A and B are shown apart, each in its own frame.
Chain A
Amino acid sequence: MNKIDNRPLTVRSATKIYGAGPGRVHALQDVDLDIAPGEFVSIVGPSGCGKTTLLWSIAGLHHLSDGSINLGAEKIEKPHPSIGMMFQDANLLPWRSVRKNIEFPFEIRRKEPDANKIDELLNRVGIAGFSDKYPRELSGGMQQRASIVRALSSDPDVLLMDEPFGALDAFTRDEMNLLMEEIWAETKKTIILITHSIQEALFLSNKVYVMSARPGRIHKVFDVPFERPRPLKLMESAEFFDLVNVIKTEIQHRPTSNITAE
Chain B
Amino acid sequence: MSDNKSDTIPSFGEAANNKGQRSVSSTGGLGGGLGIHSMAEVLAIIAVAVIIIGGAEVLLRVFEVPEFVMPTPSAIVTALVVHFDEIAPHLGHTLIELIVGYTIGASIGMLLAAFITQFPFVEKIITPYILLLVTTPMLALVPLLILNFGFGYTPRFIAVGLAAGPMVMINSATGFRRVDQGKIALARSYGASTFQIFTKIRIPMAMPMIIVGLMMGAIFAVITAIGAEMSGGGFGLGSKLTTFSSTLRTAEFFAVILILAIMGIMIYTFFSWLGKRLAGWES
Residues of A within 8 A of B (CB): 56, 59-61, 78-79, 81, 84-85, 87-89, 91, 93-95, 104-105, 107-109, 134, 136, 154
Interface majority SS (helix, strand, loop, mixed), chain A: loop
Q: Bound state CA distance, A109 and B188, in angstroms? A: 11
Q: Bound state CA distance, A91 and B186, in angstroms? A: 8
Inter-chain contacts of A109 with B (CB < 8 A): 190-191
Residue of B182, B190, B205 touching A108 (CB-CB under 8 A): B190
**Residue of chain A at shortest CB distance from B205:** A95
**B: interface residue count bin:** 10 to 19
Inter-chain contacts of B279 with A (CB < 8 A): 95
The answer to whether B204 and A79 touch across the interface, beta carbons within 8 angstroms, is no
Inter-chain contacts of B207 with A (CB < 8 A): 95
Contact string against A for B residues 240-279, beta-carbon threshold 8 Å, 1 for contact and 0 otherwise: 0000000000000000000000000000000000000001
Q: Bound state CA distance, A91 and B196, in angstroms? A: 17
* Distance to closest chain A CB from B79 (angstroms): 47
Ordered nearest first, which 6 A-B pairs have the shortest CB separation? A95-B281, A108-B190, A105-B190, A85-B189, A95-B204, A108-B192
- In B205-236, which residues have CB < 8 Å from any A CB? 205, 207
B282 within 8 A of A: yes
Residues of B within 8 A of A (CB): 182-183, 185-192, 196, 200-201, 204-205, 207, 279, 281-282
The answer to whether A108 and B191 touch across the interface, beta carbons within 8 angstroms, is yes
The answer to whether B187 and A108 touch across the interface, beta carbons within 8 angstroms, is yes
The answer to whether A79 and B189 touch across the interface, beta carbons within 8 angstroms, is yes
Inter-chain contacts of B196 with A (CB < 8 A): 108
The answer to whether B183 and A91 touch across the interface, beta carbons within 8 angstroms, is yes
Interface majority SS (helix, strand, loop, mixed), chain B: helix
Interface centre among A56, A61, A89, A93 (most CB of B within 10 A): A93
Inter-chain contacts of B201 with A (CB < 8 A): 93
Q: Bound state CA distance, A60 and B185, in angstroms? A: 10
**Residue of chain B at shortest CB distance from A151:** B189
The answer to whether B182 and A87 touch across the interface, beta carbons within 8 angstroms, is yes
Q: Bound state CA distance, A61 and B281, in angstroms? A: 28
The answer to whether A56 and B200 touch across the interface, beta carbons within 8 angstroms, is no
Inter-chain contacts of B189 with A (CB < 8 A): 59-61, 79, 84-85
The answer to whether A79 and B281 touch across the interface, beta carbons within 8 angstroms, is no
The answer to whether B182 and A88 touch across the interface, beta carbons within 8 angstroms, is yes
The answer to whether A81 and B182 touch across the interface, beta carbons within 8 angstroms, is no
Q: List 12 A-B contacts (CB under 8 A).
A: A61-B188, A79-B189, A79-B190, A85-B189, A87-B182, A87-B186, A93-B186, A95-B282, A104-B187, A104-B200, A105-B190, A108-B190
Interface centre among B185, B187, B200 (most CB of A within 10 A): B185
Inter-chain contacts of A94 with B (CB < 8 A): 281-282
**Residue of chain A at shortest CB distance from B207:** A95
* Distance to closest chain A CB from B28 (angstroms): 12
Inter-chain contacts of B182 with A (CB < 8 A): 87-89, 91
Inter-chain contacts of A154 with B (CB < 8 A): 190
Inter-chain contacts of A89 with B (CB < 8 A): 182
Inter-chain contacts of B190 with A (CB < 8 A): 79, 104-105, 108-109, 154
Q: Bound state CA distance, A79 and B281, in angstroms? A: 29
Q: Bound state CA distance, A60 and B188, in angstroms? A: 9
Inter-chain contacts of A104 with B (CB < 8 A): 186-187, 190, 200
* Distance to closest chain A CB from B8 (angstroms): 23
Residue of B183, B191, B200 touching A79 (CB-CB under 8 A): B191
* Distance to closest chain B CB from A25 (angstroms): 16
Task: List 13 additional contacts besides A61-B189, A93-B186, A95-B281; criterion CB under 8 Å.
Answer: A59-B189, A79-B189, A79-B191, A81-B191, A85-B186, A87-B185, A93-B204, A95-B279, A95-B282, A104-B190, A107-B200, A108-B187, A108-B192
Q: Bound state CA distance, A87 and B189, in angstroms? A: 10
Q: Bound state CA distance, A59 and B185, in angstroms? A: 10
Inter-chain contacts of B204 with A (CB < 8 A): 93, 95
Q: Bound state CA distance, A141 and B183, in angstroms? A: 19
Residue of A56, A81, A136 touching B185 (CB-CB under 8 A): A56
